[in-house]
Amino acid sequence: MKNLKLTKGLVALSTAALIAVFTVAVPTVARAADDCQETTIPSGIKVVDIEKCTGTDMNKSKYEIIMPAKFNGTLMVYSHGIRYNVNLPAIPVVAPKGSLINYAPEVAPSEEVAAALLAQGFALAGAGVQNQGWNLEESVEAALQVITIARDKYPKVGKVVAWGNSLGGLASQALAEQMPGAVDAVAPMCIADSAQAEITYAGDFLWGMKQFFNPAIKGTNYSAGQAGYVEMLTDLGTVLTTFQALQASITVNPAAPEWPATSTVPAALKAIPVRSAILLLGLISGVPTQSNTYDASSGPAGALETTFGLAISPALAVLENGAQAAVLAVIANYDMELRYGGVVFDNSKTDYAKRLGDDSDIFVAALTGKTATAGMLGYLSPLNPAAPRVTANAAAVAKMNSVYQLQGKIEVPTIQIAATADHIAPAGAAQYLKNQYEASIDIKTSKSGKLLTIWNKPAAEYTTFSAAGSPVAPTGVTNGTQHCNYTTSQILAIAKLAASAAKTGKIPSSTAVKAAIKNEPNLFVNPNFAPPLLKFRQ
Amino acid sequence: MIRIKSMKRVSIVSAVIAAGAMVLTTLPAQAATPGVTASEIKLGISSPTSGSAGTAYGKIPGAMKAYFSYINANGGVYGRKITLIHRDDKYLPVLAATRTTQLVLPDGDGVFALVGALGTATHTKAYKAASLAKENVPDLFVNTGYSGFGDTTKYPTTFTVLPSYAMEAKIMSKFIKENFAGQAVALIAQDDEFGIDGVSGFKAGGLTIASTTLYPQSSLTDARAKSLLTGLGALAGKPVLVMMGTTDVTATILKAAESLKLESKFTWIAGSVGGDANTLVGGFKVEPATINGMLAASFFPDAKDTKDEYVSQFMKINAKYNKGVSFDNVVLQGMNSAMLTVQALRAAGKNLTREGLISAIENKGSKFVGAGLVPLNYSATSRVGYNGYWFGQLNASGELKPFGGKLSIFTTDSGDGAIQASNFKRPTMPKNGIPTNS
């Protein structure tokens, strides 16, 4: 609890929560007055009568509460995922039209989901946190405040489900762990791992790009003030042009693409197809080998039919996923360094050969064999002065880790969903929560039967090819890949299961879960399925 | 207002639930064994039937199905029919993971056990992705010589069937030293566990290799093969050229030699995984004259040896239950693994469980009968099946005849153990090829 910067009133609540036997009255918190309007929203062919209230909590986070006229008694409190904490000019891929820091409240993962839930009688609430970037503490507090405000305004609220995407999923879980009794069920979706685990994931990939492909990438240790901001923007441009060069090289010669001109690795390394170097970086960082376009299985008809899936597709998947992971690394490193007062990424002691593990056998063909793999790992070795490691600022890391870390202490039914090829919050983050929970049961801190994990996987084969044999980018987004890329029906299934769990205090029966996902071929439940943890955790 | 749960009420409810759970745990386990009913045993196999690996090894699942059909027609295993579900993984690791998961998931195919998976990279990925260890899924008779699958800590449910590549290389070393002393030896091997195991085996076998070429899987093109052979052609005399790779690569090298007219320049030795004459000639169109005289290691009888009782019986089964598929070493291997599977299921008893099946192979597997001419090595501490080889020479008809006219079998281990001549005598085949063990 000490990690939460709670308001006086809410501290009173949390203290009371620990000792209360019955209902606790919460002092009214000081905040700006609500602005409530009765209106309607369309939901399919229906029109739903609602009351929408907006306001600002006492930490100046904006919030929104939507109460349907036909309320079913359950409030769904949504925590949004990470947003950029900087204004960005127009940058292709990252912010094509430019972007300003977004403080708007969100009450659901999408308007369509919101409309569907309101039509079913759920009340919705959510905040736009006053500080963006990696704002776990603020996000938890914002969720707690909006719950308090909603309960205060609508005493008819019976059950509360905390749910969220990515960092918001982590915040929902952190809220439930720290504030037992505040919520009745939790539904973390595409849950993020801790700040250190996530920055290690993205940072490893970015560091590898710098060493292999473009030493001009700064990656870490951005300067203070305007100079640092310019460095960060410059890095984004450098990363993107490096990816473009890699993409162009692979397009020209997929089997044996050349290294980009900016690379300074020795000629012997450049004899290895650069796709193998891209794949190696993905594997040592934990970037999924399936992406929106590439399934690591399909191939064009003809000579490359199996070679493409074996040796080329996994690398292209890493390239597609890695572009966004690297961009995230740049922006997140910049944000966290400002937030925590120094460099937080650290690979000074990382053993990348160990990190590669069995993947050196599994992807040996795509890595161009054992000899090439050893050569690439040798270049990334700490003994190579040409590839200097990064040492973090210990005080900054300590500050980063002083925020609440998940314990897996689960007291209310918790239903999480995670995609096996999520490239921003890899499935290992959800597995980590599972592991923490199981450990918590072992030490009798938690009771069993409170956590259900639903996995979202892509189809076995989904890459399509043109008549000329070139891979074709899908028109939509491939379910099971990308970050928090669930369909509306999948999200609604999770929401309904969580709401049901909130009412009963139990995880729905396996029959009920099967029924809820029976029309979702990309969802499955298997208690023994265990995706690899993020590399930081291994 | 925030309603905080009544701790007293929760405590009481928890106590009741806990008491209920205690009562339940004292009852006998009622859970059904996955993939097993009173009338059926569902097995699964993920292996390639398309792509180049499919051309080389695609007959395995069909051969296994044929043998199981034969057993089913003869009463099944303790009255249960065997159903084998095959999923094509194209020899691709990520696809193998998906296929294997699909086979094992209760809401997928829900098989009882896996049999005959093929490939090191594919199965390494699949084993972990499908949580075979956690699910305790028996993983029988994997077709790879990678010695790493013998690690019971990482692969507690796996049994491989082929001798390890290291064993093969060690025995090959002895064979070459004894029969081709003075000739330079060149090795062309896959640059993965296949080749690494092989190189370490040659080292343990004390063989001096003049030239070692390691190539990544799927990278040995016709052009590279020609370039390699042109270079190796400069070696004096009639060098021994050892090919430790898959059949498609053996074919690529031999066809390159045909193109360069270098067929007679080398003494060719094909590793056991890449030396099936029928596949080389029939599947990959290597000239029969090229394979004439080629040496190959094997632990099976020659698939063309109709005098061999197992070959003869399997041929009959193949003709009836695998119509239109020519009989060769790959079919022989598939049927043999199916026969081992039936014995394992029988040995596990009528009350079939996953634990029981694994235990049965550990305790009785070394006594299973099969076509292999070398001993089976299963025990509580060994998960590698066959542990030896004999050397033969192919003729233009693709028949593998014992080198020097006499069948000489050698056994060894994957480490530094001795290479020993074996007097192993294969047990007589059960009547009509139908196991009756228990």
Task: Give B134-171 pLDDT, tens digit per residue.
Answer: 999 999 999 999 889 999 999 999 999 999 999 999 99
Contacts 24+ apart (CB under 8 A), A384-391: A386/A211, A386/A264, A387/A211, A389/A347, A389/A348, A389/A350, A390/A203, A390/A207, A390/A219, A390/A220, A390/A221, A390/A343, A390/A345, A390/A346, A390/A347, A390/A348, A391/A343, A391/A346, A391/A348
Strand A123-128 with A74-79, pairing: parallel
Is residue B106's pLDDT more than 90? no
pLDDT digits (tens, 9 = 90+) for A306-326: 889 999 999 999 999 999 889
**Which residues from B are below 8 Å from A524, CB to CB?**
105, 107
pLDDT digits (tens, 9 = 90+) for A8-62: 333 333 333 322 322 333 334 556 667 999 999 998 888 999 999 999 999 999 9
pLDDT of res. A31: 65
**Which residues from B are below 8 Å from A361, CB to CB?**
120-121, 124, 148, 192-193
pLDDT of res. A30: 58
pLDDT digits (tens, 9 = 90+) for A369-405: 999 999 999 999 999 999 999 999 999 999 999 999 9
Cβ within 8 Å, pair A290-B94: yes
pLDDT of res. A96: 87
ipTM of the complex: 0.84
Secondary-structure class of domain A38-193+410-537 per CATH: alpha beta
* d(C-alpha A269, C-alpha A368), whole Å: 11
pLDDT of res. B53: 87
pLDDT digits (tens, 9 = 90+) for B265-289: 999 999 988 888 888 999 999 999 9
Among B4, B101, B105, the residue with its CB nearest the CB of A23 is: B4
With beta carbons less than 8 A apart as the criterion, state whether A486 and A456 touch: yes
Task: Give the number of A-B residue pairs with CB atoms closer than 8 Å.
Answer: 135
Q: What is the model's pTM?
A: 0.88
* d(C-alpha A381, C-alpha A375), whole Å: 10
**Rounded (10°) angle between helices B193-204 and B165-179:** 40
What percentage of chain A has pLDDT greater than the value 90? Answer: 88
Task: Rounding to the nearest 10 degrees, give the CA dihedral for residues A391, A392, A394, A397.
Answer: -150
Same CATH fold, B165-298+391-422 and B40-163+305-386? Answer: yes
Element (H, E) at A79: strand A74-79
Is residue B58's pLDDT more than 50? yes
Residue extents of the structural domains in chain B: 40-163+305-386, 165-298+391-422
pLDDT of res. A530: 93
Residue with tokens 């790779």: B245
Confidence band of B6 (pLDDT split at 50, 70, 90): very low
**Which residues from B are below 8 Å from A306, CB to CB?**
50-53, 90-92, 218
Handedness of CA A86, A89, A91, A96 (dihedral sign): positive
**Which residues from A are below 8 Å from B215, CB to CB?**
369
pLDDT digits (tens, 9 = 90+) for A456-504: 999 999 999 999 999 999 999 999 999 999 999 999 999 999 999 999 9
Is residue A2's pLDDT more than 70? no
pLDDT of res. A17: 33
B438's tokens? 């228990």
Q: Which residues contact A95 (CB under 8 A, 6 or more apart)?
A: A84, A88, A89
Assign 3-state DSSP to chain B and report helix, strand, coil percentages, each to 5.
45, 15, 40
Q: Residue A505 burial (CB < 10 Å; 0-12/13-18/19+)?
A: middle
pLDDT digits (tens, 9 = 90+) for A130-175: 999 999 999 999 999 999 999 999 999 999 999 999 999 999 999 9
Going by C-alpha positions, the residue among B83, B165, B86, B93 that lies closest to residue B127 is B93
A145's tokens? 């405040």
Provide DSSP, A325-348: HHHHHHHHHHHHHHHHTS-----T
* d(C-alpha A303, C-alpha B252), whole Å: 14
Strand A35-43 with A46-56, pairing: antiparallel
CA–CA min distance B221, chain A (Å)? 11
* d(C-alpha A367, C-alpha A314), whole Å: 10
CA–CA min distance B16, chain A (Å)? 13
pLDDT of res. A36: 94
Cβ within 8 Å, pair B1-A152: yes
**Which residues from A are below 8 Å from B107, CB to CB?**
514, 524-525
Provide DSSP, B87-141: EE-TT-HHHHHHHHHHHH-TTTT--SEEE--B-HHHHHHHHHHTTHHHHT--EEE
With beta carbons less than 8 A apart as the criterion, state whether A33 and A55 touch: yes
Confidence band of A92 (pLDDT split at 50, 70, 90): confident
Instruction: Say if A242 is an interface residue toward chain B (CB within 8 Å).
Output: no
Is residue B237's pLDDT more than 60? yes
With beta carbons less than 8 A apart as the criterion, state whether A83 and A132 touch: yes
Among B6, B98, B124, the residue with its CB nearest the CB of A362 is: B124
Buried b (16+ CB within 10 A) or exposed e, A451-468: bbbbbbbbebbbbebeee
Average pLDDT over residues A61-66: 97
Cβ within 8 Å, pair B216-A369: yes
pLDDT of res. B31: 53
Is residue B314's pLDDT more than 70? yes
User: Cα–chain-centroid distance for residue B96?
Assistant: 15
Give strand ranges (E) for B301-377.
Answer: none
A226's tokens? 């305007």
Instruction: Say if A38 is an interface residue toward chain B (CB within 8 Å).
Output: no
Provide DSSP, A119-185: HTT-EEEEEE-SS-SS-HHHHHHHHHHHHHHHHHH-TT--EEEEEEETHHHHHHHHHHHHSTTS-SE
Cβ within 8 Å, pair B51-A305: yes
Cα distances (angstroms) measured from residue A378 to each of A269, A270, A275, A359, B137: 10, 14, 17, 16, 38
pLDDT digits (tens, 9 = 90+) for A242-259: 999 999 999 999 889 999
> Taking the CA of residue A536 as centre, how many other CA atoms within 13 Å lie in the half-sphere pointing to its CB?
20
Average pLDDT over residues B354-369: 97
Secondary-structure class of domain B40-163+305-386 per CATH: alpha beta
Among B91, B105, B124, the residue with its CB nearest the CB of A524 is: B105
φ/ψ of A339, rounded to 5, equals -65, -40
Average pLDDT over residues B404-417: 92
φ/ψ of A322, rounded to 5, equals -65, -30
With beta carbons less than 8 A apart as the criterion, state whether A376 and A406 touch: no
Handedness of CA B299, B303, B308, B313 (dihedral sign): positive
pLDDT digits (tens, 9 = 90+) for B11-38: 333 433 343 343 333 333 335 899 999 9
More confident residue, A46 or A111: A111
Strand partners, A78: A126, A163
Cβ within 8 Å, pair A369-B192: yes
Cβ within 8 Å, pair B4-A24: yes
* d(C-alpha A381, C-alpha A369), whole Å: 18
* d(C-alpha A191, C-alpha A130), whole Å: 21
pLDDT of res. A23: 32
Mutate to test the interface with A, among B6, B10, B92 (most CBs of A within 10 A): B92
Residue type, A155: P
Which residues 510-529 of A are in CB contact (within 8 Å) with B? Answer: 514, 524-526, 528-529
pLDDT of res. A32: 62
Cβ within 8 Å, pair B192-A370: yes
pLDDT of res. B23: 37
Angle value at C-alpha B203, between B201 and B206, nearest 5 degrees: 110
CA–CA min distance B124, chain A (Å)? 6
Which residues 439-468 of A are in CB contact (within 8 Å) with B? Answer: 447, 457, 460-461
CA–CA min distance B7, chain A (Å)? 6
CA–CA min distance A266, chain B (Å)? 21
Tell me which of A92-96, B42-46, B132-136, B248-252 is least confident. A92-96
* d(C-alpha B101, C-alpha B130), whole Å: 4
Cβ within 8 Å, pair B102-A460: yes
Q: Which residues contact A144 (CB under 8 A, 6 or more apart)?
A: A6, A10, A175, A179, A182
More confident residue, B118 or A305: B118
pLDDT digits (tens, 9 = 90+) for A481-492: 999 999 999 999
Mean residue pLDDT of chain B comes to 91
Q: Which residues contact B293 (CB under 8 A, 6 or more apart)?
A: B268, B393, B394, B395
**Which residues from B are below 8 Å from A182, CB to CB?**
2
Instruction: Say if A362 is an interface residue toward chain B (CB within 8 Å).
Output: yes
* d(C-alpha A471, C-alpha A464), whole Å: 6
With beta carbons less than 8 A apart as the criterion, state whether A146 and A59 touch: no
More confident residue, A314 or B8: A314
Is residue A510's pLDDT more than 70? yes
Count of helix runs (H) and strand runs (E) in chain A:
17, 12
CA–CA min distance B82, chain A (Å)? 25
CA–CA min distance A291, chain B (Å)? 12
Q: What CATH number belongs to B165-298+391-422?
A: 3.40.50.2300
Going by C-alpha positions, the residue among B64, B49, B59 that lies closest to residue B96 is B49
Cβ within 8 Å, pair A369-B99: no
Cβ within 8 Å, pair B192-A530: no
Residue extents of the structural domains in chain A: 38-193+410-537, 197-398
CA–CA min distance A305, chain B (Å)? 7
pLDDT digits (tens, 9 = 90+) for A251-300: 999 889 999 999 999 999 999 999 999 999 999 999 999 999 999 999 99
pLDDT digits (tens, 9 = 90+) for A342-361: 999 999 999 999 999 999 99
